Amino acid sequence: MEHVYLIYDHSVREFKEPTDQKKFKSITQGSPDEISASLDSVGVDGLLIFNRNRNAWNLIFAKSLGLVAQRTARRQADTISRSGFLLSSGERVGIRSRLQQLTEDNIGDLHKTVQQKYIVSDLVGHVGDSRNEQFPTKVYATKDLEEKRNEVQKEQNVMNNFFVQE
């Protein structure tokens, strides 16, 4: 086999050998951007490909993978390119090989999903699942505005009295 494919799973932060290498051979036909989109569709965060003929590793990330996850995967890929990867067959491939990242660093869907990480929130008067299209489901004030003004005024008076006494 000319190529060895390793898939990156960010939830466990490691590269591993897929059970079906042939599946990834068909995915890797195309440009890096096409491969990146294909990785999203099969639920893979990244793909590390070892080319035996060129003795080189190529790293491709899924479009949805964020910058921090990409950096984590890149550090692990650097280690693999230096020390190689032990396959299930017992063969170690890619020792002291060149590593090339084929996709550009990007923030992935981070710009769209920062608030989606907070599934239920009562911050700023919003309650609901932010992943739903009708978010926010409820908007309310946690306390009556007049009560808040009174509390703030009391706190200011206490602080003013404290500084005046000194």
Question: What pLDDT digit, counting tens, does each position of 72-90 carry?
Answer: 999 999 999 999 999 999 9
Residue 96 has pLDDT above 70, yes or no: yes
pLDDT tens sequence across 38-56? 888 888 899 999 999 999 9
The Cα–Cα gap between 44 and 34 comes to 14
What is the Cα–Cα distance from 15 to 86, expressed in whole angstroms?
11
Residue with more model confidence, 109 or 8 = 8
Lowest mean pLDDT among 66-70, 74-78, 92-96: 66-70
Q: How far apart are CA 97 and CA 78, in angstroms?
A: 9
Predicted TM-score (pTM) above 0.85: no
How much is the average pLDDT of 8-26? 87
Q: Rounded to an integer, what distance in angstroms lies between the CA atom of residue 70 and that of residue 76?
A: 10
Give the whole-angstrom CA distance, residue 20 versus residue 166. 75
Say yes or no to pLDDT of 111 above 70. Answer: no
Query: pLDDT band for position 129 (50/70/90)?
Result: low
